Amino acid sequence: MKHSLKDAVASHVEAKRLDDDTLASLQARLNAAQDRGPSAADDAPPAGNRRRLLLVAAIALLGVGALTFALTADPRPEELALVIADEVASNHVKLKPLEVETSRMRKVEAFLTEVDFAPLASRRLAASRMGLTGARYCSVQGVEAAQLRYTDAGETWSLYQSRYDAKAFGELSELGTADAPRRIHIRGLAVELWVENGLLMALVGPPSA
């Protein structure tokens, strides 16, 4: 997923924040100036400058704290859907080798025994001309998943499946309801997200699909 939304924000924090050594140096200089007393007044930073240094350090610490909170806070559902769509689209274009090559769903189910769910032949694809070519283990948002690969008219599709957890994946609608699947265009691809029989489904295909 390229870098995730959290990775990007974390990199920004790392680039902008004052490091521990810098803050310690500032504090040491202020303490030294105070310890030397009035006789060293000419060498010590003016009181106004000391206050400004402390203010800058305090603001920097507050900024890091606020951004750290933003990193640990749960993203909004619409943001999480974009993160998931970006992750599966990024993985789709890599076309990693399949771990089982087959056109039969039963063989996929028999092979992918290390996931805690049974891979599903989705109703969403029942009326399509897509042909199953195989599957492999993967993950979505750190949750174990299966990637089923299909082809249709020379185009390659991926259907990601994982046990649905609203906390990990956000609120998504069940297939057959008015707002399912949710469609997102990202990385020049079309991603559809929905829930079916207790599984998260993420279908990745060409933008014109």
60-70 pLDDT, tens digit each: 666 555 554 44
Predicted local confidence at residue 62, as pLDDT = 60
pLDDT recorded at residue 3: 44
Q: What angle do CA 30, 46, 59 make, to 5 degrees?
A: 55
Instruction: Select from 1.10.10, 3.30.1370, 3.40.1000, 2.60.40 the CATH code of 77-205.
Output: 3.40.1000
**Spatial distance between the Cα atoms of 160 and 134, rounded to a whole number of angstroms:** 12
Run of H or E including 27: helix 20-36
For position 41, what pLDDT does the model report?
A: 45
Distance CA 60, CA 175 (A): 47
Q: Taking the domains of the chain in order of start, what are their residue ranges? A: 5-72, 77-205
Q: Are residues 52 and 26 in contact, defined by beta-carbon separation less than 8 angstroms?
A: no
Q: Please provide the DSSP assignment of 31-57 as one string.
A: HHHHHH-GGGTTTSPPHHHHHHHHHHH
pLDDT for 86 beyond 80: yes
Query: For 34-56, how does the pLDDT look when each residue is reduced to its tens digit (9 = 90+)?
Result: 666 554 444 555 666 666 666 66
Residue 104 has pLDDT above 70, yes or no: yes
| The pLDDT value given to residue 69 | 46
Percentage of the chain modeled with pLDDT above 90:
59
The more confident residue out of 17 and 90 is 90
User: What pLDDT sits at residue 167?
Assistant: 92
Distances (CA, A) of 193 to 162, 173, 196, 202: 12, 8, 10, 5
Sign of CA dihedral 94, 104, 125, 170: negative
Give the model's pLDDT for residue 1: 42
Q: What is the mean pLDDT of residues 6-25?
A: 51
Q: Which tops the pLDDT comparison, 126 or 32?
A: 126
pTM value is 0.65
Q: Where are the alpha helices (DSSP H) in 44-156?
A: 47-72, 77-94, 105-111
At residue 142, the pLDDT reads 95
Helix axis angle for 20-36 and 47-72, nearest 10°, is: 150
pLDDT tens sequence across 113-125: 999 999 999 999 9
